[in-house]
């Protein structure tokens, strides 16, 4: 009987340890996901930028139809180098203009994005990346460039 209890005790230890490891991984993953939180409300983005003394990175994109927008998202915004840099330097603001019905935005969000485009992207370039100060004044802008994240960061930080 004693060997059975010993095995049960060992099994419980292993289960507890695995549970702890899984819990820790989930916590670490959630920190990584929150490292780059995209805002969709300009007023809120300005408030955060003002409180945290950061610039606003406003990205005009067509997430489901614009090939350079999709490349920019994959190569730059989703890179660990950019996420790490952006966390300390930018409030990320997305103005998306999807075309597919399944990706349709709310009417309010569509209107907000159109207002941002009227002010900051009147020529309708996609993608367009606009660096703003915490008051909403333009510091610089650029589009897609087929370069590494570190080079893109260098361009953004020059504004």
Query: pLDDT of 76-88, one tens digit each?
Result: 999 999 999 999 9
The pLDDT of 117-143, averaged and rounded, is 97
The reported pTM is: 0.78
Kindly state whether residues 7 and 27 are assigned to the same domain: yes
Q: Quote the DSSP letter at residue 73.
A: I
- Domain of residue 23 covers 1-34
- How confident is the model at residue 32, as a pLDDT? 44
Kindly state whether residues 72 and 116 are assigned to the same domain: yes
* CA geometry: angle 66, 69, 75, nearest 5 deg: 140
Total structural domains within the chain: 2
Kindly state whether residues 89 and 25 are assigned to the same domain: no
Closest among 89, 157, 97 to 127, alpha carbons compared = 97
CATH of the domain at 64: 3.40.30.10
Closest among 158, 86, 14, 102 to 94, alpha carbons compared = 86
Kindly state whether residues 95 and 134 are assigned to the same domain: yes
Neighbours of 68 (CB within 10 A): 16
């Amino acid at each position: 009987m004693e060997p059975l209890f010993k095995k049960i005790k060992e099994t419980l230890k292993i289960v507890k340890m695995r549970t702890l490891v899984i819990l820790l991984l989930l916590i670490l993953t959630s920190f990584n996901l929150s490292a780059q939180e995209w805002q969709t409300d300009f007023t809120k983005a300005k408030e955060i930028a003002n409180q945290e003394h950061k610039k606003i990175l406003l990205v005009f994109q067509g997430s489901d139809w614009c090939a350079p927008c999709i490349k920019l998202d994959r190569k730059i915004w989703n890179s660990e180098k950019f996420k790490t840099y952006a966390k300390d330097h930018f409030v990320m603001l997305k103005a998306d203009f999807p075309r597919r019905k399944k990706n349709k935005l709310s009417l309010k969000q569509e209107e907000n994005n159109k207002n941002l485009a009227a002010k900051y992207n009147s020529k309708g370039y996609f993608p367009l990346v606009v660096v703003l100060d915490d008051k909403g004044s333009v510091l610089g802008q650029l589009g897609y460039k087929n370069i590494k994240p570190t080079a893109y960061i260098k361009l953004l930080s020059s504004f």
